[in-house]
Amino acid sequence: MKLVAFVSDYRMPVDTLDRLKPEKLGIILVQNGVYHATTKENGNPSSLLNYSADYFVLQEDLETRGYTSSDVDSKVKVISLGDVVDLIFNDYEKTAWL
């Protein structure tokens, strides 16, 4: 299964992702989830970025919180709403909201 998960909270317990076993995992950071792409925890990237996944952050939500693409961790690709639609219809079979 190819799964893309939307993460909308910064203080989300990551154990939920541990239980998922897709062959391909994408994580789209939206709303307050964008802080995973921009904020350091004790000088280290967010622990959410430790998974074997393709990471994306929604540009509109990033800019709403005062960040630019230069503030984003190098593992994370900045995308638009149109890109989200393309990912859902072309690259992933299932979606989840965490």
CATH number for the domain harbouring residue 28: 3.40.1260.10
- Residue ranges with strand state E in the chain: 2-7, 24-29, 40-41, 44-45, 54-58, 76-79, 94-97
Sign of CA dihedral 52, 53, 59, 65: negative
The structure tokens listed for 38 are: 């921009």
Domain range for 66 is 2-97
Question: Which pLDDT belongs to residue 10?
Answer: 84
Interacting residues of 59 by C-beta distance below 8 A, sequence separation 6+? 69, 78, 79, 80
Note whether 54 and 32 are within 8 A (CB).
Answer: no
List pLDDT tens digits, range 22-80: 889 999 999 999 999 998 878 889 888 988 999 999 999 999 999 999 999 999 999 99
Give the whole-number percent of the chain exceeding pLDDT 90. Answer: 68
List pLDDT tens digits, range 11-37: 766 677 778 788 899 999 999 999 999
Task: Look at the chain and report how many structural domains it folds into.
Answer: 1
Question: Which pLDDT belongs to residue 13?
Answer: 62
